[in-house]
């Protein structure tokens, strides 16, 4: 397991009467890709700028390796930031933009030329060296901004929603490239986004923030399939959230009542007792649909199709079941066609998650 490279301990930050960060603590392993994910105003960009040194730490400590950086000026932290708008100098060529930080460090002309050339070649943008930012595309500007950061050989790379200005198709391409580059270089990377799909696709670790607090930290798998709160379940991806109550607790599983239906939930990862109120979290893609009632009646619910959208690789259904309308995603619908009217839903006992109301 990689050692901790960036350590954030109980960091707090306020702007006037607004507390933007509330005692944030997280360990970032060396060479990992960690994403701060959350809605606008949750504090994620404030956290990034505090790491970079643009905001002072009000309370708590930030370490890079063994070095406390609270009082280290931003230009001496070796934590380099790529901004959302790329912040390329319009009057400089791309080559000059990339070399700018090295010139500030007063490296030799030969060293600057070698490092700039090597970095541009690595990112495949050698042909852009003499062009100005206004003469290249958004995707090329993004690569140039990344090159300007990487040429500094930072200990920590900080990325503030760098893909948000790109169109959807290009964003997907650059996302894959960015992850590949990060893995090749093994550079500790902190990424900020409000895009859940982006966070799930890129990250080794996701830190979900809300209202200045860190609500859950874990792998993309843990964040998606084992959310610890209703906020995380609802914000990350799409979830069906059903109110229920524990009616039985046995070794390895519980039984919960939802309306008139009793659901078996295997290996619940939150500790609950009989009688506890819970929220049952079910992802749309984990639900099976049937035209006829299956012989195995475990976790079967009767419903009625109210709407659907065909999206090519899958169909999303809105199914009225009891007092709720549930979302159900059916992948590769070419075989079974389109379901209509009355259907039966099955919830997998191992794919049905619970969130304790006590959390």
Domain ranges (residues) in the chain? 4-234, 238-356
pLDDT value, residue 177: 87
pLDDT value, residue 357: 65
Share of the chain above pLDDT 90, in %: 75
> In terms of DSSP H, where are the helices of 124-195?
138-150, 168-185
pLDDT value, residue 20: 96
Instruction: Give residue-wise pLDDT tens across range 64-98.
Output: 999 999 999 998 999 999 988 888 999 999 999 99
**Cβ-defined contacts of 288-291 (< 8 Å, 24+):** 288/345, 288/346, 288/348, 289/317, 289/319, 289/328, 289/330, 289/339, 289/343, 289/344, 289/345, 290/343, 290/344, 290/345, 290/346, 291/339, 291/343, 291/344
Task: State which residues of the chain have pLDDT below 50.
Answer: 359
Nearest alpha carbon to residue 44 among 62, 28, 61, 21 = 21
The CATH code that applies to domain 4-234 is: 3.40.50.300
* Helix (H/G/I), strand (E/B), else coil: 156: strand
pLDDT value, residue 359: 45
**156-160 vs 188-193, strand pairing mode:** parallel
Q: Which residues of 201-236 are buried (b: 16+ CB within 10 A; e: fewer)?
A: ebbbbbbbbbebbbbbbbebeebbbbbbbebbbebb
C-alpha to C-alpha distance for 186 and 188, rounded to whole angstroms:
7
pTM: 0.89
Of the CATH numbers 2.140.10.10, 3.40.50.150, 3.40.462.40, 2.40.50.100, which one belongs to the domain with range 238-356?
Answer: 2.40.50.100
Token pair of 225 as six digits: 């399939």
Residue 345: burial class (beta carbons within 10 Å; 0-12, 13-18, 19+): buried
Q: Report CA-CA distances (Å) from 176 to 30, 140, 226.
A: 21, 15, 25
* Helix (H/G/I), strand (E/B), else coil: 230: helix
pLDDT value, residue 163: 84
């Amino acid at each position: 397991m990689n050692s901790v490279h960036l350590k954030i301990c109980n960091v707090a930050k306020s702007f006037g009467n607004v507390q933007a960060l509330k005692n944030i603590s997280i360990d970032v392993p060396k060479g990992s890709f960690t994403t701060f994910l959350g809605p606008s105003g949750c504090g994620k960009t404030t956290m990034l700028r505090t790491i970079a040194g643009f905001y002072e730490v009000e309370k708590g400590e930030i370490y890079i390796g063994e070095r406390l950086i609270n009082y280290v000026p931003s230009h001496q932290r070796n934590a380099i930031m790529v901004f959302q708008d790329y912040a390329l100098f319009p009057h400089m060529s791309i080559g000059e933009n990339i070399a700018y930080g090295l010139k500030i460090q007063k490296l030799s002309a030969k060293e600057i030329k070698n490092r700039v050339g090597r970095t541009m070649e690595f990112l495949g943008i050698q042909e852009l060296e003499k062009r100005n930012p206004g003469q290249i595309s958004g995707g090329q500007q993004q690569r140039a901004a990344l090159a300007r950061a990487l040429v500094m050989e930072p200990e920590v790379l900080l990325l503030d929603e760098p893909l948000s200005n790109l169109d959807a198709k290009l964003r997907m391409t650059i996302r894959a490239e960015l992850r590949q580059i990060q893995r090749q270089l093994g550079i500790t990377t902190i990424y900020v986004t409000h895009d859940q799909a982006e966070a799930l696709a890129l990250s080794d670790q996701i830190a979900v923030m809300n209202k200045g607090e860190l609500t859950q930290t874990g792998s993309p798998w843990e964040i998606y399939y084992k959310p610890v709160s209703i906020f995380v379940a609802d914000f990350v991806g799409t979830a069906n959230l059903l109110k229920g109550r524990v009616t039985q607790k046995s070794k390895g599983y519980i039984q919960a009542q939802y309306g008139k239906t009793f659901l078996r939930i295997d290996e619940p990862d939150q500790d609950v007792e009989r009688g506890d109120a819970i929220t049952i979290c079910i992802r749309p893609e984990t639900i099976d649909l049937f035209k006829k009632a299956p012989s195995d009646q475990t976790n079967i619910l009767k419903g009625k199709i109210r709407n659907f959208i065909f999206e090519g690789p899958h169909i999303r259904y809105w199914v009225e079941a009891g007092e709720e309308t549930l979302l159900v995603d059916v992948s590769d619908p070419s075989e079974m066609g389109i379901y209509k009217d009355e259907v039966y839903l099955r919830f997998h006992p191992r794919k049905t998650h619970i969130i304790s109301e006590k959390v």
